[in-house]
Amino acid sequence: MNPLKQVGALVTKPVDAISKALATPTGYTTPSGFARLVRPGPKLAEVVRGKILLITGGSSGIGRAAAIEAAAAGATVLLVARGEEKLQEVANEVRVAGGTAHVYPCDLSNLEAIDELVAQILEKHGRVDILVNNAGRSIRRSLALSYDRFHDFERTMQLNYFAPLRLMLGLLPGMRERKFGHVINISTVGVQTRVPRFAAYIASKAALDTASDAFQAETRDENVHFTTIHMSLVRTPMIAPTTLYDNFPTLTPEEAGHVVCEAIIERPRRVSPAFGRVASFADSLTPEIMDVVRNRGFKMFGDSASAKGEDTEISGAKKAFVDATSGNYW
């Protein structure tokens, strides 16, 4: 068997096993690879009615979709992003859907601006019940092209880690005092699969994941919950510069937004696609084997057009590799 087929078998067999295990009367696997439990429980309206929900990156993509769905179910949504005009457009969509939305333009790369945002929101609304840290920056660039780009790592840490951390530190005291709160962090399946070319992005998301794990240990008995969603590839403006992804299977923003709303209902610790869970487990057992898989993907797909310039078509072996690692990105 050639090396590619060996890698394909290594990846697909455990994924198929988990998918079959999930496809039971109590659960099913969505086309995106996310598994949902189908069990009696509160509907979204029962959970969010009367609650104040803050969503960063609320002007487009996942944030927009989640805001519209949650607000239509009865949440008061606070939309945060840099551009006020786009935020107002989403707020109008929310109102058309019968929901309530407030717009808070904020540059989340500015820590002082975040402090002002928290103070303004608490003064006007008194609290935030559910915080969705959705805003983020992704950079796809290989090590060879990163030697003189330390600022890539600084920028991703600022928006993906320090900004949500600053928000949490401002809002968690009130949640703990009231004995109720939910923080949802939109992470990436890349934290589980540790794909090449995304060192800056994955490291920043992993930092947020780890900090939230530590916070959860301190607040679990206070009815304050943390959920990490290891999101697979979503068709948003963030991935637009990498035209290679035009050929990859992706979630729509509406599908991803629904994943967020499901997390609001269930309050799970983690939500991950099947392949991400398999890769994480395999990596904990034998990282050397996963290094082979990752190296194979690295060699098959070049740096993005925005980083270097490349052929954006995928076919044959590349297509098989993408299908075998469904939900992941290379």
The residues assigned a catalytic role are: 201
3-state secondary structure of 105: strand
DSSP letter (8 states) at residue 159: I
Q: Are 293 and 257 in contact (CB under 8 A)?
A: no
Handedness of CA 104, 111, 226, 37 (dihedral sign): positive
Evaluated on CA atoms 238, 243, 248, 250, the torsion sign reads positive
Residue in 103, 74, 72 with CA at minimum distance from that of residue 90:
103
**CB 105 within 8 Å of CB 84:** yes
d(CA 30, CA 77): 27
CB distance 18 to 42 below 8 Å: no
Q: How many CA atoms lie within 13 A of 157 on its CB side?
A: 9
Which of 44, 104, 35 is closest to 68 using CA atoms? 44
Query: Which residues, at least 6 apart from 39, have a Cβ–Cβ distance to it below 8 Å?
Result: 26
Instruction: Answer for the pair 315, 3: CB distance below 8 angstroms, yes or no.
Output: no
Largest CA distance in the chain: 65
CB 109 within 8 A of CB 164: no
Closest CA to 44 of 313, 257, 303, 296: 257
Residue 328: exposure state from Cβ atoms within 10 A (0-12, 13-18, ≥19): buried
